[in-house]
Structure 1
Amino acid sequence: MKYDRHLLVGKDVLGIVTGIGGFFRGRMYLTIFAYIKGAIRMNQYVRYFSDIDKSSLASVGGKGANLGELYHVFGSAVPAGFCVTTSAYRDFVNTSGEFAGFLNSLELINAEALPELKEAGQRLRRHLESLDMPDQIQQAIIQAWRQTGSDYAYAIRSSATAEDLPGASFAGQQDTFLNIEGEKQILDSVRKCWASLFTDRAIAYRQKNGFEHKHVLLAVVVQRMVFPEVSGIMFTAEPVTGNRKIVSIDASFGLGEALVSGIVSADLYQVRANKLIKKQIAKKEQAIYAKSEGGTVTVVLSEERQTAQALSDETAIRLAGMGGSIEGHFGNPQDIEWCLANNEIFILQSRPITTLYPIPQVADAKLHLFISFGHQQMMTEAMKPLGISALRTLAPIGKKLPQDESDLLLEAGGRLYVDVTQFLEYPQIRKRLPELLLNIDEMIGRAVQDFIGREEVRSALQTENKRLELAFVKKALPTVFALLRNILYRDNSWAIDEMNLFIHHQVKENKRKLQKVSGPERIEQIQEILATLLPTAFLQVAPSMGAAIITYKLIENLSEKWLGDAAELDSISKSPSGNVTTEMGLALGDVADALRNHPAVIEYLKQADNATFFDGLRAVPGGEDVLPVFLHYFEQYGMRGTGEIDVTRPRWREVPTQLVPVLLSHSKSVRPGQHRRDFLAGKEEAELAADRLLNRLRQTPRGNLKAKRMQRLLKVHRTLIGIREHPKYFIVQNLDLIKQAIMQEAAKLVTAGILEDPEDVFWFSLQEIKKIIETQQVDQKIIARRKEKFQQEAKLAPPRAITSEGEIISAKPGAQVPPGALAGSPVSAGTVEGYARVILKLEEAKLDKGDILVAPYTDPAWTPLFPLAAGLVTEVGGLMTHGAVVAREYGIPAVVGVDQATRKIQDGQKIRVDGSQGFIEILENETLTKP
């Protein structure tokens, strides 16, 4: 435990005084030194606000430290008081011989075992409230109380050392006592505050957030009561949208306890740039007031007062100004308790707002819009610094040198966001971008539409009507012409083979480049390779991929124009040839077929270990027969994995057990060879759908001409749509090479004693790794800080779209849904009923044939589950993202972009998925328990 510096000085002085006393034998001197020694010890137990600042956290807790800071800035606007320190708490609990045992037993209780937590908390509170408070602590508190003013009433609040921090609020976890008067009542309230460190809610919160109970200490704030006419809470950032430019104030009559406890609705006042922009007067039926004899009373307000405005407009603006000053002092948005008495504003508390999502940092002051890169890539988890650095280097735009990290791909909360502001300055991009994004993630597309449609944004963008540079247009023309040739007349039958050959040679060449160099030069080579990947892949695949997508839209539009519907559209994309991700899923089905007749192998896989996976397989009966199939699969696809564009994430060759649940589900639920037969059936269905479409067209005026044009479009689409996964396949293979090269350099750093573990390189950017190799030095504190930051950011829910003011722009799916249904984006037509299987991680997947897969997202690594699934529901995605495309290929209904689907749908519930209209209905609240 890090002790406060003032306490350390006090203890040093105490030691000196004690030592000096040993030199004296006279009774008078001993009496004097005993008095001084006692006074110093008493001063360890109390600290006045005037002697507290942010460095005092260890002795006075988060609330106390913040109050000390406020007292220094605002003086009399902060009611006077003192803190009973954590030393007093420690010495108090140390009088018990049982307390340590209580704490140890508490640590062993599971955070989800609420009845056990409740019972343990009651035992601890009863025990602490029964303990006698040591005389020296009592004397210190009473002396401080008298000096602050024994004629006043006091508010007595708990202040924990893990409270009101930037990363953890703990607000409301411990108890508060208001309008306390008299010596005995003060002491009793302090003891009750100490005991409230173990309220049920406080215990559960610490368990959930990973704080050890023994490491959290409690101080107590003793502060003069103010008896206000009005009180409330002020957020210096709008708490719902997160906008940092808006101050939001809740106000009600009487003490703020009525608002905090939820017994009254509050008036809402919002201030921006010293102007009141919103005022919402609530009906305030009750108020809590202090009683003259101590304590509080709840009063029913008169009808007239219930609808009266609690704050004047001028006072709200004045209060917002104070909020801005407080935020400026602490350096981050604040949640502030305040009150108004005799037209004077008093500040009672300020704590960081811990629920706001961080904002990507930009250099200028203009309004920016950022959209989530992770939602587009089906990867919304937090990333480590190396993964972020690699992707920012991979981005081909927004940088001065190719090996730099892009300024248009920015980190916030451990995720990456694309700054689309500059793109919106081009009218044509501004017009087309929302439509494009609707196909990737509907809610991102709608959020961008919302942003562009705002009056202030439109006005700003009208002055920025940029045109594409002629040089850029010239560079794009060859690709455009190649795309048109693919659609109109070129023989595309070799396109996928050519792409596969290109990938093979390019990966081989990059591997050679990485093997030729080492040390800092190898990191430079990695940066150069990353910078070339996207431009290289785009130029190679754009003519084919663009033709496949455009022909799909043309088939849809012409079908609706000529026939009045696009009934065959959902079948024409089924089972295309050459899709590397589909082939990966089929190959895994082959592995499942190979092991299904070897029960010993199946039993081995259930308990296999990553480190000994293949050696252990050889040792079991049938293992030698299955091993070649496994090895062949990992040779082809071992570089893949979940979240695979994050270079720090494990690959299947590193953690082969990730695939075990999928293999076991296949062998259990799918007949031998069924996955191959289903694929061929999908191909046949696509061909029949194409024939039906052409026959229908021939029945219309000029039908033969229409059918001929449509036949070409169908052929181009079917031939080229399989290439859609190749760019990612190409990038992932190169990322695997890069990861291996980085880990080789990391191993050298471990051998040299620079790093403790090879994976410590994950906590640094590429440029930082290069410097570590050059200097052969590393600051271990950086690793510890970044690990802690990562753990905090992993708990955050990343927004799809956020502005540079911190406003989260939320949008709802466009689907019209029945009452009680969950809305999303319809991406694969059809309706299916079945039991939901909620899967959060691929390595935990247990899916039976006919189950409906409910997941946060699906990326290529999830493809092996699709032959089992009867339907798909994801929280992320759009028409052209992985899950949607693969669902159409397999012909299963799918709805994506369903907000919090994995929470709102329970595992085992029977649900209906309507992939045509875009909603999910829960048919049975009861869940089916599956093994």
Structure 2
Amino acid sequence: MKSYVLFFDEVDRSSLPYVGGKGANLGELSKTGFPVPGGFCVTTHAYQDFIATSPKMDSLLDELNAMNPDDLSQLRKLGERIRTHLQQLEIPFQLRNEIFHAWESVGKEYAYAVRSSATAEDLPTASFAGQQDTYLNIKGQDGLIQHIRKCWSSLFTDRAISYRAKNGFDHRQVYLSVVVQRMVNPEISGILFTADPVNGNRKVVSIDASFGLGEAIVSGIVSADLYKVKDGQFIHKNISEKKIAIYSIPEGGTVKKELPLDQQTKQALTDSQILRLAELGKRIEKHFGSPQDIEFCIENGKIFVVQSRPITSLYPLPDIPQDPLRVMFSFGHVQMMTDAMKPLGLSVLRTIFPKKVLFEAGGRLFVDPTEVLRTKPGRKILPKAFHHLVDEGLSRAISEVIQRPEFLQVPPKPGFVKSARRFMAPIIKEVWNNLVKRDPKLAKSIVESFMQKKWTEVREKLQGVSGAGRLKAVQDQLSILGRDVLQNLFPYVICFPISFLLLRKALIRWIGDEKELYQLNKSLPGNITSEMGLQIGDLADLVRELPEVEEYLKHADDQTFYEGLFNVYGGERFKRAFEEFIAKYGHRCPGEIDLTRPRWRVVPAQLVPAILGHMRSVKPGEHRQKFIQGEQEAQEAARRILDHVGRGSFKSKWIKRLMEVYRHMGGLREHPKYLLTMILDECKKAIMTEAEGLVKKGVLQQSEDVFFLTLDELIQLSKEEFKQDVFSLVADRKEKYEWHHTLNPPRVMTSEGEMVTGSPRKGEFPQGALVGTPASAGVVEGKARSVLKPEEAHLNEGEILVAPHTDPGWTPLFQSAKALVTEVGGLMTHGAVVAREYGIPAVVGVDDATKKIKDGQMIRLDGSQGVVEILSDEKK
């Protein structure tokens, strides 16, 4: 028999479908012995039977589910109709009786808090906090029934309807319970977070407190005191001026009161109460197994807990111990791809790179360089390397953490320095030889010979095997790929940033500035990604001659892309040229380090915006002319430098050597990633062949479901050794992946969960300017074009590309852009290097650039100072 009422001691987490998130959590707390005021839950069965008495609710819910959530006018009207209708419905007699009996059992003499508790509320990934209503100090049975009905109606407030619609919750599948809880008349109330809600530190307890009822804090009418405690010690106190408090009144309801002057600036909680609350909060967190947002109040010196729910805003932690303190940086920020990844993509990268330093959190990967940073040389060299090569903000954040006493007091693991020295010694020797001895002009042939050999080796290993054997071969080849690239390619490509830093230092010392260095970066010889951009330009020039092909491309789709070209004049000619491009670059795409991303060979229409954008913004043949001009400008800059330092001198010989290394090794910068993507694509072909076989056997519903399994799990599945329900596992991971997509990954985080931002870059900047890292010199003004995905780009002549990040898959857009702004990056990351090579100004590492700069705004970009100014709020 279904119950309309359940007391707190009859409820636990398994009761969520009947009492909602708030009710289930209060039941858990009460049953476990935490100090919870008595009460009961009016269950979802009661709500369902209540609305079942309405002949109209079915049709109203149909209207609600069919409604466009962005149509606010329609949303308001429909919500108002439903709420009015529910307010007029009679509550069935049996239901009223059960509520009255429960109320009498707890105590008719008390006042009550009547709170909504939805089944899609206080969940680990969706809090729904504040979406339904709460009523305080309710007295008498008529008041109780009236406010329970109001709670049911509040399931259809505008904000609740909109939130559910935008988060994909079916309005029919969200039910409402009502929590009826004895009112506490507190001297002090507050909110306790068992992790710092601002920076995510899991060891910091953060407490807001003020006088009277907590409603004053929740509604924002008072600035509460803020206390922070870590490991039983105070780390922060801020005593606010608390002018107003809310109190219960005897006849029911609440009233605002102005506090006496001497109480307004008084610390609301004593130090002893703060520490007791921090300890209580951590016990509650331990019980629930996750950080909690807890509402508390203090009556006659006794602490009561009136609500606890998960903190849903925290970025997930990697699976590593919190102690001793460790520091990690985002692999995606280094690779210019910060999007969430599917499990297969994550497991492939953790197969290529050492698992002991690469951890997953929130669908992203984080690198743990802690052991290196525990050494003195590591603390000196690594932050500088990050500053120059990766991302200035990342460097500042890491520098901040490694200066903390709790980090410095932990030595590196025994034997680490010795083993690291032994591993790096031969690589350092190769780097030295490339820098000062070997002919830089020969580097390209050596590197490309290794790449061809490696690619051929992988292809051969994956042929002639099938099933689990083929998947194991994929795993084996990926497991040695990182080592092979490090030993054979790294000693060449690392010479590019090293020579950059040495050249810059020499030019500043001997010439007085580094301006010529940026000229040397233009049109680097042999850059495989720049050559790809030039070939996009060639395709665009071909399309200029074929207007029917141009018209076709505007509407082409991936499935019929090639077939449709046969039906237009010039289509076969374009098809031959395009297929030549795909034969060389079809394994690439935006976010290409993620094996699960669709490659251009599968989604050729992704390249259309780049081709058409090039036609709009670049004149015929101009891209090739610019490249030749860049080569000439680089040669002229080299001559000017040598003339300045004096030919024949030691200085000139050293600088000449550095310039040769810089240009020839710079041309190889993209080769390791090119090889990586070639091999990832070969592995993907093998994996998808096996996936299709698993679909035919009925093991998987569709071949892309393999993206939601790890490589190890896929091998087990092929061996028929996988013990879990694959369909359910895939469905759960798809849902989790969608949640991961909503998260904003930090550049740097600690093992305690703290998201470290570091201090901002110092300097005198124009008021209101967005500050990043200067990456390519020059000052330009133009219209901002915000692009989140390159396949959706629509760049016009003279527009400035504003992007979250760029990797080689974005390169086709660079010919069309007047300048570049990115949210992520440093001096030697993809966008910065390519911008310098193309001779366009760039500022990288501008936090939230795509949100702060609106599409179409006029902006001024100073690539020398690293600032972006918004010239007009009006979109042009």
Counterpart residue identity of residue 744, structure 1: T
Provide the C-alpha distance between the structure 1 equivalents of 2:848 and 2:644, rounded to a whole number of angstroms.
42
Q: 1:125 corresponds to which residue? A: 83
Counterpart residue identity of residue 185, structure 2: F
Q: What is the Cα deviation at residue 292 of structure 1?
A: 1.2
- Of residues 591, 601, 614 in structure 1, which corresponds to 2:539? 591
Q: What is the Cα deviation at residue 478 of structure 1?
A: 4.5
Q: What secondary structure, in the 3-state scheme, does the structure 2 residue paired with 1:288 have? A: strand
Provide the C-alpha distance between the structure 1 equivalents of 2:234 and 2:449, rounded to a whole number of angstroms.
64
- The answer to whether residue 661 in structure 2 is matched with residue 713 in structure 1 is no
Q: 1:880 corresponds to which residue? A: 828
Q: Write the deviation string for residues 815-861 of structure 1: whole angstroms up to 9, x where unpaired.
A: 53222111111111111111110000111111112111111100001
Q: 1:215 corresponds to which residue? A: 173
- The answer to whether residue 391 in structure 2 is matched with residue 433 in structure 1 is no
Q: 1:737 corresponds to which residue? A: 682
- The answer to whether residue 825 in structure 2 is matched with residue 906 in structure 1 is no
Provide the C-alpha distance between the structure 1 equivalents of 2:129 and 2:669, rounded to a whole number of angstroms.
49
Q: 1:257 corresponds to which residue? A: 215
Q: 1:274 to 1:548 in 2, by over 3 A?
A: closer
CA contact (8 A) 2:324 2:410 kept: no
| CA RMSD, Structure 1 to Structure 2 (Å) | 1.7
- The answer to whether residue 400 in structure 2 is matched with residue 455 in structure 1 is no
- The answer to whether residue 151 in structure 2 is matched with residue 193 in structure 1 is yes
Provide the C-alpha distance between the structure 2 equivalents of 1:622 and 1:409, rounded to a whole number of angstroms.
50
Q: What is the Cα deviation at residue 564 of structure 1?
A: 1.7
Q: 1:691 corresponds to which residue? A: 639
Counterpart residue identity of residue 768, structure 1: E
Provide the C-alpha distance between the structure 1 equivalents of 2:375 and 2:364, rounded to a whole number of angstroms.
27
Q: What is the Cα deviation at residue 668 of structure 1?
A: 2.3
Q: 1:29 corresponds to which residue? A: none
Q: 2:33 corresponds to which residue? A: 74
CA contact (8 A) 1:157 1:222 kept: yes
Query: Whose radius of gyration is greater, 1 or 2?
Result: 1
Q: What is the Cα deviation at residue 705 of structure 1?
A: 4.2
Q: Write the deviation string for residues 597-632 of structure 1: whole angstroms up to 9, x where unpaired.
A: 322222222222212211112222221121101111
Q: What is the Cα deviation at residue 278 of structure 1?
A: 2.3
- Of residues 393, 418, 441 in structure 2, which corresponds to 1:443? 393
- The answer to whether residue 717 in structure 2 is matched with residue 775 in structure 1 is no
Q: 1:32 corresponds to which residue? A: none
Provide the C-alpha distance between the structure 1 equivalents of 2:832 and 2:143, rounded to a whole number of angstroms.
65
Q: 1:135 corresponds to which residue? A: 93
Q: What is the Cα deviation at residue 456 of structure 1?
A: 2.1
Q: 1:793 to 1:763 in 2, by over 3 A?
A: same
- The answer to whether residue 560 in structure 2 is matched with residue 615 in structure 1 is no
Q: Write the deviation string for residues 780-818 of structure 1: whole angstroms up to 9, x where unpaired.
A: 211111111111111111111111111111124415322
CA contact (8 A) 2:708 2:733 kept: yes
- The answer to whether residue 5 in structure 2 is matched with residue 46 in structure 1 is yes
Q: Write the deviation string for residues 469-527 of structure 1: whole angstroms up to 9, x where unpaired.
A: 2x764664444344333333432223213322322232122101101221222122112
Q: 2:332 corresponds to which residue? A: 374
Counterpart residue identity of residue 456, structure 1: E
Q: 1:153 to 1:596 in 2, by over 3 A?
A: same
- Of residues 730, 738, 741 in structure 2, which corresponds to 1:791? 738
Provide the C-alpha distance between the structure 2 equivalents of 1:189 and 1:478, rounded to a whole number of angstroms.
76
Task: With a CA cutoff of 8 Å and minimum separation of 6, indicate the structure with the bigger relative contact order.
Answer: 2
- The answer to whether residue 749 in structure 2 is matched with residue 802 in structure 1 is yes
CA contact (8 A) 1:813 1:825 kept: no
Counterpart residue identity of residue 684, structure 2: K
Q: What secondary structure, in the 3-state scheme, does the structure 2 residue paired with 1:468 have? A: helix
Q: Which moved more, 1:133-142 or 1:587-596?
A: 133-142
Q: What is the Cα deviation at residue 211 of structure 1?
A: 1.2
Q: 1:530 corresponds to which residue? A: 478
Q: 1:804 to 1:474 in 2, by over 3 A?
A: closer
Q: Write the deviation string for residues 250-285 of structure 1: whole angstroms up to 9, x where unpaired.
A: 100000000000000111122222233322211001
Q: Which moved more, 1:616-625 or 1:581-590?
A: 616-625
Q: 1:321 to 1:548 in 2, by over 3 A?
A: closer
CA contact (8 A) 1:856 1:875 kept: yes
Alignment of 1:86-101 (within 5 A): 86-101=44-59
Q: 2:698 corresponds to which residue? A: 753
- Of residues 344, 353, 358 in structure 2, which corresponds to 1:409? 358
Q: 1:464 to 1:515 in 2, by over 3 A?
A: closer
Q: What secondary structure, in the 3-state scheme, does the structure 1 residue paired with 2:667 have? A: helix
Provide the C-alpha distance between the structure 1 equivalents of 2:818 and 2:586, rounded to a whole number of angstroms.
27
Unaligned runs of 5+ in 1: 1-9, 12-43, 398-405
- Of residues 818, 828, 831 in structure 1, which corresponds to 2:776? 828
Q: Write the deviation string for residues 112-132 of structure 1: whole angstroms up to 9, x where unpaired.
A: 333332232222222221222
Provide the C-alpha distance between the structure 1 equivalents of 2:625 and 2:68, rounded to a whole number of angstroms.
47
Q: 1:41 corresponds to which residue? A: none
Q: 1:63 corresponds to which residue? A: 22
Q: Which moved more, 1:145-154 or 1:777-786?
A: 777-786
Provide the C-alpha distance between the structure 2 equivalents of 1:89 and 1:130, rounded to a whole number of angstroms.
15
Q: What is the Cα deviation at residue 204 of structure 1?
A: 1.8
Q: 1:862 corresponds to which residue? A: 810
CA contact (8 A) 2:371 2:413 kept: no
Q: 1:110 corresponds to which residue? A: 68
Q: State the TM-score, normalizing by the size of structure 1.
A: 0.91
Count of residue correspondences = 872
Q: 1:635 to 1:286 in 2, by over 3 A?
A: same
Q: What secondary structure, in the 3-state scheme, does the structure 2 residue paired with 1:802 have? A: strand
Q: What is the Cα deviation at residue 763 of structure 1?
A: 1.2
Q: Write the deviation string for residues 631-677 of structure 1: whole angstroms up to 9, x where unpaired.
A: 11111100001111111111011111111111111122222111111
- Of residues 238, 263, 267 in structure 2, which corresponds to 1:280? 238
Provide the C-alpha distance between the structure 2 equivalents of 1:123 and 1:902, rounded to a whole number of angstroms.
39
Q: What is the Cα deviation at residue 194 of structure 1?
A: 0.8
Provide the C-alpha distance between the structure 2 equivalents of 1:878 and 1:614, rounded to a whole number of angstroms.
39
CA contact (8 A) 2:820 2:835 kept: yes
CA contact (8 A) 1:426 1:464 kept: no
CA contact (8 A) 2:608 2:791 kept: yes
Q: State the TM-score, normalizing by the size of structure 2.
A: 0.97
Q: 1:3 corresponds to which residue? A: none
Q: Which moved more, 1:528-537 or 1:254-263?
A: 528-537
Counterpart residue identity of residue 181, structure 1: K
Q: What is the Cα deviation at residue 905 of structure 1?
A: 0.7
Q: 2:466 corresponds to which residue? A: 518
CA contact (8 A) 1:425 1:465 kept: no
- Of residues 463, 487, 511 in structure 2, which corresponds to 1:539? 487
Counterpart residue identity of residue 577, structure 1: P
Q: What is the Cα deviation at residue 865 of structure 1?
A: 0.7
Q: What secondary structure, in the 3-state scheme, does the structure 2 residue paired with 1:594 have? A: helix
Q: 1:709 to 1:666 in 2, by over 3 A?
A: same
Q: 1:280 to 1:54 in 2, by over 3 A?
A: same
Provide the C-alpha distance between the structure 2 equivalents of 1:542 and 1:756, rounded to a whole number of angstroms.
41
Q: 1:766 to 1:692 in 2, by over 3 A?
A: same
Q: What is the Cα deviation at residue 589 of structure 1?
A: 1.2
CA contact (8 A) 2:321 2:751 kept: no
CA contact (8 A) 2:784 2:853 kept: yes
Q: What secondary structure, in the 3-state scheme, does the structure 2 residue paired with 1:156 have? A: strand
Q: What secondary structure, in the 3-state scheme, does the structure 2 residue paired with 1:392 have? A: helix
Q: 2:866 corresponds to which residue? A: 918
Provide the C-alpha distance between the structure 2 equivalents of 1:692 and 1:797, rounded to a whole number of angstroms.
46
